Structure 1
Amino acid sequence: MSKIKGQGPFAVSATFLTLAGAITRQGIFLVYAGMAVVAVVFFVAKVPETKGRSLEDIQSDAGAAAGRS
């Protein structure tokens, strides 16, 4: 999990100076904001809602989605 958390800051630090040389700071902000919007849309579309469901229901759905029963 910590690898996943580290990818966002790494992506920003790896691309910021390159983008700063190519576009304005406002443009950089818009690029990163666009990436965040895409991430939110992905999570809303692909991550199932778990509120009000039991752990067993969630596990059975996750197993079925992974091809296990």
Structure 2
Amino acid sequence: VIEIKSTWGDRHYVGLNGIEIFSSEGEPVQIANIRADPPDINVLPAYGKDPRVVTNLIDGVNRTQDDM
């Protein structure tokens, strides 16, 4: 379990682009479950198609715009 208790500068948004977990042998571990509370900004009435969702953290794309 990874529980993020606070953010840096924004009360509601944590700026992560990916999470990778490795076994003691250095092999990637498949993440079985991921969740956030709230799940994303799309729960707000003014949003609905914001791409910043928690499942992006484990989609294997761990780059920022600057990395492209």
The two structures share one fold, judged by TM-score above 0.5: no
Which one has the largest radius of gyration? 1
TM-score, length-normalised on structure 2?
Answer: 0.26
User: Which structure has the highest helix share of the two?
Assistant: 1
TM-score, length-normalised on structure 1?
Answer: 0.26
